[in-house]
Amino acid sequence: MPANNPTDDESSPLLPRPSPTLQTQTRPAESAMASSAIFWKVAAISGATAVGFGAFGAHGLKKRIADPARLASWGTAAQYQLIHSVALLMASGNPLAASLFTAGMTMFSGSIYALTLNPEKFKFLGPVTPIGGVCLIAGWLVLAFGKKGGPPKFPRF
């Protein structure tokens, strides 16, 4: 049986605690810049996928779906995603508006894409589409009536 070590009692932490002098605290400005940089990247990726989905809808989807209304829905989803990707770029310094745009694009366009591909399988997503639309509208209203900070400050990478 090993000798009892006073540091091996059950009350000692599993991981060593960092010394207070080594801890760094994130300042609000640094946190806002990190958030802004994340939304900027999300917006850029969303814009790229919107262009890709739009091209797929205009060319590849026509081979799989004959219904013009479903094809038009796909085009609407891609258009709204692209427009709101640009809005998200502009709102990347406003975390509330940026979050609403991100949620709105995901729910609005994402549900339409899924419903266009397989309406029966994804029927449960029908109510998600208008919720996403409300998020998009709310994002615009937050920009209109929220804190007025002048033109957007774009993140530096």
Distance CA 74, CA 59 (A): 12
Q: Is it the case that residue 88 has pLDDT exceeding 60?
A: yes
pTM value is 0.76
Distance CA 130, CA 66 (A): 25
Amino acid at 92: S
Structure tokens at 21: 């002098």
Give residue-wise pLDDT tens across range 2-38.
555 555 566 666 665 655 554 455 556 666 678 888 9
Tell me which residue has tokens 């589409």. Answer: 129
**Degrees (nearest 5) of the Cα angle 97, 132, 53?**
100
Average pLDDT, the chain: 85
Structure tokens at 3: 């000798």
Q: Are 72 and 26 in contact (CB under 8 A)?
A: no
Q: Which of 7-16, 25-34, 50-59, 125-134 has the lowest mean pLDDT?
A: 7-16
Q: Report, as an integer, the average pLDDT of 124-136.
A: 97
Give residue-wise pLDDT tens across range 138-152.
999 999 998 765 556
Structure tokens at 95: 């975390």
Residue-range domain boundaries for the chain: 33-145
Distance CA 155, CA 31 (A): 12
